[in-house]
Structure 1
Amino acid sequence: MVGIGGLVLPVLGWIIGIVMMWQSPAWRRVDKVVATVTPLMLAALVAGAVRVTWLVHDRSEEAEGHAVVVSAYDVAWLGCAVLVVLTAALGLWLFRRIASGARISSA
């Protein structure tokens, strides 16, 4: 639900999937933490990369004659695409863990 929900309803689906996962006894605590933290860290990395690119782009416009500089929009779109792919891969990893009969925790 986390990977698929995050693709169908980008933010709300991910939140619903995470809540369902944390309430389920079928997942180990490490699975829950990885599924919760990984997309948040990736989103923070994308936001940081966009910010740095934006600052570099602003400074490069002050100096004339520079070569082509990557736009912050390009970094943002690439970051969103990478975030979607990696979140879907995380969902597949979680699906394989549960389908392979991963240990059921009591927590």
Structure 2
Amino acid sequence: MERNRQSSVTVEGKPLSGGRRRGVVDLVLEIEHNRYGAPRASDYLVVVDFLDLRSSQIDLNAMLEEASVMDITLTREFDGLIKLDLMPNVGLDIRLTCREVVVRSVQHYTRDES
């Protein structure tokens, strides 16, 4: 999670008074495709930015090294926000609501099996 950006408007888009600014929280998620499957020639690392988080449920204590993502659901809400529900086989479950989702990169990766 990063709080590197600032905004001079409220979450509703109205100007903040007195020159005030608010911090904007973003989340960068890196997902390795097929991480625990049989090695293939086309395994990918996908980096996704979830910008301007409005709510989140992230249990960092539940992170397990061998967890894999079973399903990722992105839904546009009635207010224009985007809802993410990342469901693992075990461990880390992420639910959040944000203003924007950006795929930063998709690149090949080679697994280190050592």
TM above 0.5 = no
- TM-score tier (shorter): under 0.3
Of Structure 1 and Structure 2, the greater helix share is in: 1
Larger relative strand fraction: 2
Which structure's CA Rg is the greater one? 1
Higher relative contact order (CA 8 A, sep 6+): 1
TM-score by length of 1: 0.25
| TM-score (norm. length: structure 2) | 0.24
